[in-house]
Structure 1
């Protein structure tokens, strides 16, 4: 991304959204889907709210919502361990069997989460044997997780669960400066990423 494009994106993410845009974001971007037991939990790595992400995954495991999981995330600045290593260790400490958690240690963005994880899932389970996936990630990234997965793995059924630690209710995201910045930063990527073939429309219209 050029410096000018990066600055343009920054300018947009610090703007105040219109009432119509708030409505569209709440309706189409900030969605969780109904959950049912899935073959795989796809846990997208993070440096934000790690404990919350782990607690949510552990709760899903205890409730029988997935048979296998993959944790994807590389080494980020300031850490000597990959996001995968940190998150998996916490999941195992909380009771999720280590041999049920597949590992991906290189990804540095959402596209790489998917691209690098698919061969690992295929080698361990066979992609054809996985019929349903729950995507677990940050609220502000929202539907871009399953949209990225849908671009590279259209056949599998996708569900979405997102979490955050903001005290502000999700539907009031626009009243919190940092929550607003994060959501607009992700929202502004959607159409460009679709045009460039990074993501595919999901859910179906």
Structure 2
């Protein structure tokens, strides 16, 4: 079987991805920042979390991510410690350090959020993650926690502008790999349509 993420997308597919996957949402202060774990572009994610904190966009954050092969520290520990080093108060950061994928990020984090803050006290969440994964973060959150308003902020370290993702070989590969997961994941019930049309 060929790797579909290595393909060159058509103009129609580029337009669809730009319109439906690489979405940006209006940003307003939220009750919670949900930082999805990663092994790549950690510094960019931490910088963005700090900017959102500094500018008053969240009161509390949860960082989720387990230990990945080749590391003895969880993604959660690495990212949360870096957020604290940047100036976000330790007591404002909840931690979930077992998740190995986006679904587990949400499933394992909800009890942590509930115990610390109460899920019913959270009305809005900003999802923070990789550009190429894009709306799959809030789609996963929407599948398990439909009640909250969701916003999306994404980061990456590509020099290529986001609108030209298809012109950069690695950026294109990452986005196509994620785009190709959307429909199968919806069918399997891993994610739910978001934003709801």
Q: Give the TM-score category using the shorter length.
A: over 0.9
Q: Which runs of 5+ in 1 are unaligned?
A: 1-6
- 1:58 paired with 2:50, answer yes
Separation in 1, partners of 2:164, 2:110: 35
- Hey, what does 2:73 align to over in structure 1? 81
Q: Once the two structures are superposed, what CA deviation does each residue of 1:48-101 show, in whole Å capped at 9, x if it has no partner?
A: 110110010001001000000000000011110000001111111111010100
Alpha-carbon distance, 1:192 to partner: 0.4
- Hey, what does 1:198 align to over in structure 2? 190
After superposing on structure 2, the runs of 4+ consecutive aligned residues of structure 1 that deviate more than 3 Å are none
Q: Once the two structures are superposed, what CA deviation does each residue of 1:127-159 show, in whole Å capped at 9, x if it has no partner?
A: 000000000000000000000000000000000
- Hey, what does 1:118 align to over in structure 2? 110
Tell me which of 125, 129, 135 is aligned to 1:137.
129
- 1:157 paired with 2:145, answer no
- Hey, what does 1:45 align to over in structure 2? 37
Separation in 1, partners of 2:100, 2:174: 17
Tell me which of 39, 45, 69 is aligned to 2:61.
69
Q: TM-score, normalised by structure 2?
A: 0.99
Separation in 1, partners of 2:35, 2:149: 16
Separation in 2, partners of 1:172, 1:51: 22
SS of the aligned residue for 1:88 comes to: helix
- Hey, what does 2:140 align to over in structure 1? 148
Alpha-carbon distance, 1:204 to partner: 1.2
How well do the aligned residues superpose, as a CA RMSD in angstroms?
0.7
What is the number of residues matched between the two proteins? 197
Separation in 2, partners of 1:97, 1:197: 36
- Hey, what does 1:20 align to over in structure 2? 12
SS of the aligned residue for 1:161 comes to: strand
Separation in 2, partners of 1:121, 1:95: 22
Separation in 2, partners of 1:89, 1:194: 34
Separation in 1, partners of 2:14, 2:86: 37
Tell me which of 161, 169, 182 is aligned to 2:161.
169
